[in-house]
Amino acid sequence: MNQTSLSSETLLFNTPLEIGLRCIVILDELKDQKIDLQRLIYFDYLVIHYGDVETEYESLHPPTPHRSGEILVKRDLVNEGLLLMISKKLVEVEYEASGIFFKASTYCTPFLDHFESQYLLQLRENAKIMAMKFSTYTKDELKKYMTDNLDRWGGEFNKESLFRGN
């Protein structure tokens, strides 16, 4: 096996599996709350970059330049991760007149309890802290918080293009 085939076989960063796991950690922490895709995208960013929110906490991912641009490209990735977790019965989908919502299934907590890696333990801790701070924000409050802070978080994008129509 050459190095190229090894790296393509072990690719995990930004795969549906990695993002799907982050989604179920977030949904599990929110307990029986149901959230839409945009809120989940925001929460995913906040969980992995929580040091941007409160500097006394360490972010899970490094503070790379332009990281706020992740919000632009996450929609399809989060959707793919959710579909994977839905297929494994770890996420439930609710269809309502106001949109499509996701919540953790009853299998989610027992599944996550089997993980022992430091990364996942820290991810769960960040999700708990993030949920305490942001789970009660309305859609408009969360959107405002995100747009007001993008420039501080390494953002070089035009804020209006990120949130136009949301």
Q: In which residue are the tokens 């991760």 written?
A: 81
Instruction: Report CA-CA distances (Å) from 45 to 126, 127, 161.
Output: 11, 11, 17
Alpha-carbon span 38 to 51, nearest angstrom:
21
pTM: 0.82
pLDDT in tens, 99-128: 999 999 999 999 999 999 998 999 999 999
DSSP state of 35: B
Alpha-carbon span 124 to 47, nearest angstrom:
9
Sorting pLDDT into bands at 50, 70 and 90, what band is 42?
very high
pLDDT in tens, 51-87: 878 877 877 766 665 555 666 668 889 999 999 999 9
**SS3 (DSSP) at 20:** helix
Instruction: Report CA-CA distances (Å) from 108 to 27, 85, 125.
Output: 9, 9, 16
8 A C-beta contact, residue 59 and residue 123: no
8 A C-beta contact, residue 43 and residue 21: no
